Structure 1
Amino acid sequence: MTAVFQDPMFQDEDKAREALEAVRWPDGAICPHCGSSDPDKLAKMGGTKKSHRPGLYYCNDCKGQFTVTVGTVFERSKVPLTKWWMAAHMMNSGKNGVSAHEIHRALGVTYKTAWFMMHRLREAMIDSKPAPMGENGGNVQADETYHLNTSKRAKGYKKGHSHKASIVALVDENTGTVRTFHVQKGVTADKVRDILFTNVIRKATLVTDESALYTYTGKAYGDHQTMNHTGREYVNKLGFTTNNVENFFGVFKRGMRGTYTFCGEQHLQRYLTEFQFRYNNRSGLGVTDGERTAKALKGIEGKRLTYRPAH
């Protein structure tokens, strides 16, 4: 166990809960049932009664009880918060991610629990209110790639991408952030147009390769710069490039092949979200591992993920 895990919040359940409260409620507790934040109306249940769960609050406005995990991806979880903190830190301390087997061994939980914990944490990493890309006429790189769990050296490997999962990514050069999309049933010009129109301001400069997927849509933007990748042109004569988005794809594919090895297509968007979150909060942008972990846990609110969909 590394030195960082000697921090009290990784060892003591009360400290872990206090740390999570500080992340979720930096200005004081808020009732998840009615939204009350009046400290005079929210009482922390003390005493030694065994019926009182640790960290229990009582809201005098709605007469409801809650803890810091209510209304989050941690709700009803039997996994200690110390282990949630450890799993979150492990997922956010390396750009290639960490496998569920490693979480399972390090935390002493079952593989099924580790796998599900990681999916809950990926759910927390979702940016619910993404800002428009390409503000002030900035450059936005766009590219597509294709993902398959099978190695090129595997028996029966098929060339081409018609049988692979399709991914589109956008990189805002001004902010250094990426946005990813798992495109169901293949990439088409219409699907690319919908993604671009939803996420990129029209005044922006669109930067792509020579793919026909972007030709028509590119005309709707302030400028459309292309590179002839077929002719091995990776920076055009005006200095535009798609190297940033290509670099992100490289990190994603190395992580998927080297760390996760297999991903069902139904879960691909969550894995993309994980790599996207780490990329957008990387050390190159001045974010530490601890800050990245806390930011990931700040997204737990208002999200639930269960083994089976509710009936």
Structure 2
Amino acid sequence: MFDVLSNEEECRKHLEKLRWNDEPICPHCGSQRKEHYKLKNKGVFNGLYKCKDCRNRFTVRIGTIFESSHIPLRKWFLAIYLFSSHKKGISSIQLHKDLDVTQKTAWFMLSRIRYCFSSKIDFEFDGIIQVDETFVGGLNLNKNKSKRVAKSQGRSVKTKTPVFGMLSDGLVYTEVVPNTKGATLKEIIRAKAKEGSTIVSDGWLGYRGLSKDYMHYIIEHNKGIFKKDGYHTNGIEGFWSQLKRGIIGVYHVTSPKHLHRYCDEFAYRYNTRHMSDGERFNLSLVNSDDRLTYKELISNQ
């Protein structure tokens, strides 16, 4: 693929083909037509257009993660390919070596790409839905004695961040939550799962009461039961395993502030796992129109 996208010109044309299908779209007024003016610099066209309707200038980068970036598209494309094709992701340290950019630049690039990996479709689950919650963060015993939290075993959120997940028909949805109380979990389930669906969960008390709106199967893991009438939660638990192995093995640590982006990243790879690397790469380019600014990234919000 990168033998074909060997220079900036070919990368620009590829992005225009995917985003515009050879009919440039003005990001200022939304006008889509082949007749937009192509502006040349010293007789050479480098992708700068002038809208035939509103007369504003634009390029294919505007409104994407590539806007206002001095990084060549070829390096951006390589970063997206590596990031999306590696099952467990790629660290900013490794990417800065691969692309010959600073580690800070690589981190910002990965953050922008990760931001675009969030789900574009507000889908509703139906059929058989596995639900489960997990906790992400370092072990309390591994912390310095001065930073350890007393009485933080079990489902305590004092040292780890809770994440809730739903899986159905090969698609997974994750959400970082403030707690694993019943009101919190059931609000998400009722918003994402069609009424009358089959919910499969473990024996956590927070799932009690779901039988009013759903067929609710409880797999009592604490009693050594891991399958009941053909139902189980192995799928969502397997996804948690991938998420945690990726965080521990590649990223080593994630802050609660950015954890939702890492969950989106692994959910994106999981949901597109049947695509080829090239198909996932092109899909990522098509979905690159959510731009995260550096100010937003480092803000305290």
TM-score, shorter chain, exceeding 0.5? yes
Distance (Å, rounded) in 2 between the aligned partners of 1:262 and 1:273: 16
Q: Does 1:294 align with 2:288?
A: no
- Pairs within 5 Å for 1:78-227: 78-134=70-126, 138-150=127-139, 153=142, 156=145, 159-160=153-154, 161-163=156-158, 164-172=160-168, 174=169, 176-184=170-178, 186-221=179-214, 223-227=215-219
1:162 CA drift (Å): 2.3
Distance (Å, rounded) in 1 between the aligned partners of 2:51 and 2:191: 40
Partner of 1:70: 62
1:207 CA drift (Å): 0.8
Which amino acid is the alignment partner of residue 211 of structure 1? W
Which amino acid is the alignment partner of residue 18 of structure 2? V
Instruction: Give 3-state SS (helix, strand or coil) of 1:46's partner.
Output: strand
Which amino acid is the alignment partner of residue 17 of structure 2? A
> How many residue pairs align between the two structures?
291
Partner of 1:7: 3
Distance (Å, rounded) in 2 between the aligned partners of 1:291 and 1:254: 25
Distance (Å, rounded) in 1 between the aligned partners of 2:186 and 2:259: 21
Distance (Å, rounded) in 2 between the aligned partners of 1:150 and 1:57: 54
Per-residue Cα deviation, 1:91-145 (whole angstroms, up to 9, x for no partner):
11121111111101100010010001001001111223222111xxx10111000
Distance 1:29 1:209, change over 3 A: same
Distance (Å, rounded) in 2 between the aligned partners of 1:309 and 1:248: 29
Distance (Å, rounded) in 1 between the aligned partners of 2:123 and 2:102: 38
8 A contact 1:124–1:297 mirrored in 2: no
1:149 CA drift (Å): 3.4
Which amino acid is the alignment partner of residue 259 of structure 1? V
Distance (Å, rounded) in 1 between the aligned partners of 2:141 and 2:81: 33
8 A contact 1:121–1:297 mirrored in 2: no
Distance (Å, rounded) in 2 between the aligned partners of 1:155 and 1:200: 42
Give the counterpart of 2:249 among 242, 247, 258. Answer: 258
Instruction: Give 3-state SS (helix, strand or coil) of 1:39's partner.
Output: coil
1:298 CA drift (Å): 1.3
Per-residue Cα deviation, 1:4-52 (whole angstroms, up to 9, x for no partner):
6x4232x311111111112222352211111111223x222235268x7
Which amino acid is the alignment partner of residue 262 of structure 1? V
Which amino acid is the alignment partner of residue 166 of structure 2? L
Percent sequence identity is 34
8 A contact 1:72–1:300 mirrored in 2: yes
Instruction: Give 3-state SS (helix, strand or coil) of 1:226's partner.
Output: strand
Which amino acid is the alignment partner of residue 149 of structure 1? G
Distance (Å, rounded) in 2 between the aligned partners of 1:82 and 1:213: 48
Q: Does 1:235 align with 2:221?
A: no
Which amino acid is the alignment partner of residue 148 of structure 1? G
1:62 CA drift (Å): 1.1
Distance 1:309 1:274, change over 3 A: closer
Instruction: Give 3-state SS (helix, strand or coil) of 1:56's partner.
Output: strand
Instruction: Give 3-state SS (helix, strand or coil) of 1:87's partner.
Output: helix
Distance (Å, rounded) in 1 between the aligned partners of 2:19 and 2:237: 35
Distance (Å, rounded) in 1 between the aligned partners of 2:83 and 2:296: 25
Per-residue Cα deviation, 1:258-277 (whole angstroms, up to 9, x for no partner):
00001111000000010000
1:297 CA drift (Å): 1.9
What is the TM-score when the length of structure 1 is the normalising length? 0.88
